[in-house]
Amino acid sequence: MSESRRARREAERNAKRRFFSPGEPAVEPTQTSAQPAQTPPNAEADVEPSNHGTKDANATEINAPQKSEKSENTTTSGPESPDDSSSKPAEVTAAEAQVFEAAPEFEKVPAPTAGLATKVPKNSKAKKTLGFIGSVAVLCLGAAAVAAGTLFPAQLPAQGAVTGLTTLPASDALTTCPAAVRLLKGAGADADPEFAPTSKDSKSVIRAAVLSDNVGRIPGTQLLKLDGKSQQELAPRLEEAEAAKLPPAAQDGSSQRKGITASGITAAEPLTLRTQPLGGLQSLSGAARFYTAKDGDLAGLAAAGCTVPASESWITGVTTTGGTTSVLHLVNSSASVSQVRIDLRGSGGAIEAASLSEIAIAPGESKSLVLAAYAPNEKSVALKISASGGKINATVQQSSLHGLTPGGIDYLVPGTPAASSQIIPGVLLQDPQLAGDLAKGTSAADAVPELHVSATSNEGATIKVKALGANGEVAIPGGGELIVASNATARLPLTGLPAGVYTFVLEADSAVTASVKMVRGTKADEPMDQAWAVGATRIGSEHLSPVPEIGNARLVLNAPVDTATITLRPLNKDGKLGAEKKIELSDAKTITLKPSDLGNDTVAVIISASGAPAYAAMVIEEGDTGVATLALNPAASGVEGVQVQLRH
């Protein structure tokens, strides 16, 4: 060690002894240029000496880290600016306060605070003791803090954490039936239609049914008008506490299940079937509207199931050429305003219709639009109907005239959403010779059975089509392949197929929607009828499908891929359930049977499936020309759940 350095160290020690001598006033040590004052990080403000004596360095440095020899003689300095965080009062933990109180030879020392004086120790021995205790306390507190952070990590709010499913209570099941068929008289402003009465012999009725639970409790069920008033009550509503109870199992293991039916409901306006849940599960109910007329412009047969309101619907097969009238009906049976957007696709691609981008429909209101005003002279139009706020029901009433001769009437209802696979059951085709003759009549060029497909993406679609008849797959003339341009529609004639009932299977390389048009008649230039079959959903555990009150119905079943078992159980007009009937589906064969095969006076059928995916629909015939189809009503939903995402 050099002489100059040794001398400097000795001077510093002497200065320290003078500064901390008991009973003497405190003297600030003189800083030399060779050893400038060191300000540690987060320096506290200077502590003024009190009137009780001099400051004790060890006592004031309890919160400081362990010092090296070089740092013993440094002094603290105040903050360099008023905004420095070190100007805040020093905080003392509970552990540090206990250290102050633990020194028996000291007066009680308050927690050191910037700008306040502290008590002076009575002797140097106590000072050393307190300094040692303070150092140990600091080390212990630091170690504890590190350990706490390791053993007990901070509980921070989760970012995007997803919990399990949160159960939602079952609500009333709601399905809405379309309005009765109406004759278009004209169109006013904004293509709003004006309607005239239909022919005197026309008939439009709704049939509804509801099932009890296994112990015979029948849920409250009503058919409601759009204003919420009751049109007809099938069963009174149970007390909510009673309805919420889980049904006890029958002691003998038997089921007391039964039902209630209502037929011949003639209300012309849209009606909503509301069914109360039981035991936390939605109850099983179903309804449908049927229409028939022997003469007039709207002569023919039509049918439509009462469907669940949706935020998105797809309707394919609309025609707006001369002689055809297509009216879109939108119904808002919810308690919220619905903002509706309608996107149109035609043979040339997307059709611009700015006025269809924002349509407001108030709660309990309906709106009708003549589609030829937005997409004129189109042989095939596809609609995508999107709703925000209140969900809606959408149907298209479509009718044709061949000059003055009725060309048919039907409801076009939403099919399954756009997908690369579509299954369409319930297609009735006449003899190909007769089908060709019907289209040769004057103004009857559109009287052709055909498949309508819409590509819903910019890539377009290539579709392979299969026709499944009573004996399995039947070759489609021309190969059954269809190419559809971007966001466009296309048609595939089906006149070359043998007479029979079919299920059509579509496999595409991108998402499509589809429907099949059927034509039924006897001679060209005479009245005929048309109907539309749409993409179907897979049969689930239980569906309740009303049997048509009008015409003769057949249930159409198919399992396109593999073997499936269908279980059918009839419900008669007295509300009694008949015996179950099981049907095996295999080899992609389309099976048909009459509801009367299940029992006399059958007014509804419970349909269930197991095994491979299976599909169903009803095809209805009346007289020599009437034809219609009825899609399968949705199955009742059980307890639903949603994933809850937690964020802060």
User: What pLDDT, on the 0 to 100 scale, is given for residue 447?
Assistant: 92
Mean pLDDT of 567-587: 97
User: What pLDDT, on the 0 to 100 scale, is given for residue 47?
Assistant: 36
| Assigned domain for 501 exists | yes
User: What pLDDT, on the 0 to 100 scale, is given for residue 636?
Assistant: 66
| Assigned domain for 332 exists | yes
Mean pLDDT of 298-313: 97
Residue 189 has pLDDT above 50, yes or no: no
User: What pLDDT, on the 0 to 100 scale, is given for residue 246?
Assistant: 87
140: helix, strand or coil: helix
Of 58-62, 137-141, 393-397, the one with minimum mean pLDDT is: 58-62
Higher pLDDT, 38 or 248: 248
On whether both 331 and 299 belong to a single domain, the answer is yes
317 φψ region: left (φ > 0), alpha (ψ -120 to 50), beta (else)? left
User: What pLDDT, on the 0 to 100 scale, is given for residue 357?
Assistant: 93
Mean pLDDT of 10-39: 47
User: What pLDDT, on the 0 to 100 scale, is given for residue 402?
Assistant: 92
On whether both 136 and 281 belong to a single domain, the answer is no
7 pLDDT band, cuts 50/70/90, is: low
| Assigned domain for 12 exists | no
Residue 595 has pLDDT above 80, yes or no: yes
On whether both 395 and 501 belong to a single domain, the answer is yes
On whether both 123 and 272 belong to a single domain, the answer is no
Higher pLDDT, 439 or 408: 408
| Assigned domain for 426 exists | no
On whether both 567 and 600 belong to a single domain, the answer is yes
| Assigned domain for 115 exists | yes
On whether both 391 and 289 belong to a single domain, the answer is yes
The enclosing H or E element of 231 equals: strand 230-235
CA gap 35, 374 in Å, rounded:
91
Query: What are the tens digits of pLDDT across the range 502-537?
Result: 999 999 999 999 999 999 999 988 999 999 999 999
191: its two tokens: 């293509």
Using a 10 angstrom Cβ sphere, with 0-12 exposed, 13-18 middle and 19 or more buried, the burial of residue 340 is buried
The string of DSSP codes covering 486-520 is: TT-EEEEE-TTSPSEEEEEEEEEEEEEEEEEEEEE
Total of domains in the chain: 2
On whether both 58 and 185 belong to a single domain, the answer is no
User: What pLDDT, on the 0 to 100 scale, is given for residue 441?
Assistant: 75
The owner of tokens 């439509």 is 304
Mean pLDDT of 425-440: 94
Residue 93 has pLDDT above 50, yes or no: no
41 pLDDT band, cuts 50/70/90, is: very low
Residue 349 has pLDDT above 80, yes or no: yes
Higher pLDDT, 492 or 116: 492
Query: What are the tens digits of pLDDT across the range 212-249?
Result: 999 999 999 999 999 999 999 999 999 999 999 988 76
Using a 10 angstrom Cβ sphere, with 0-12 exposed, 13-18 middle and 19 or more buried, the burial of residue 383 is buried
User: What pLDDT, on the 0 to 100 scale, is given for residue 572?
Assistant: 96
| Assigned domain for 428 exists | no
User: What pLDDT, on the 0 to 100 scale, is given for residue 110?
Assistant: 42
566 pLDDT band, cuts 50/70/90, is: very high
On whether both 263 and 364 belong to a single domain, the answer is yes
496: its two tokens: 């070359």
User: What pLDDT, on the 0 to 100 scale, is given for residue 194?
Assistant: 66
On whether both 103 and 179 belong to a single domain, the answer is no
200 φψ region: left (φ > 0), alpha (ψ -120 to 50), beta (else)? alpha
Mean pLDDT of 73-92: 40
User: What pLDDT, on the 0 to 100 scale, is given for residue 446?
Assistant: 85
27: its two tokens: 């003297």
Tell me the pLDDT of the chain averaged across its residues.
80
On whether both 45 and 190 belong to a single domain, the answer is no
The owner of tokens 């709010």 is 157
Amino acid at residue number 134? G
581: its two tokens: 């009937």
Higher pLDDT, 543 or 94: 543
Mean pLDDT of 552-561: 98
User: What pLDDT, on the 0 to 100 scale, is given for residue 122?
Assistant: 42
User: What pLDDT, on the 0 to 100 scale, is given for residue 440?
Assistant: 85
On whether both 344 and 478 belong to a single domain, the answer is yes
Of 106-120, 573-587, 632-646, the one with minimum mean pLDDT is: 106-120
396 pLDDT band, cuts 50/70/90, is: very high
User: What pLDDT, on the 0 to 100 scale, is given for residue 53?
Assistant: 41
What domain range includes position 597? 171-416+435-444+453-523+531-643
37 pLDDT band, cuts 50/70/90, is: very low
Contact present, 337 and 390 (Cβ < 8 Å)? yes
On whether both 61 and 113 belong to a single domain, the answer is yes
Phi and psi angles of residue 201, each rounded to the nearest 5 degrees, phi first: -90, 5
User: What pLDDT, on the 0 to 100 scale, is given for residue 227?
Assistant: 94
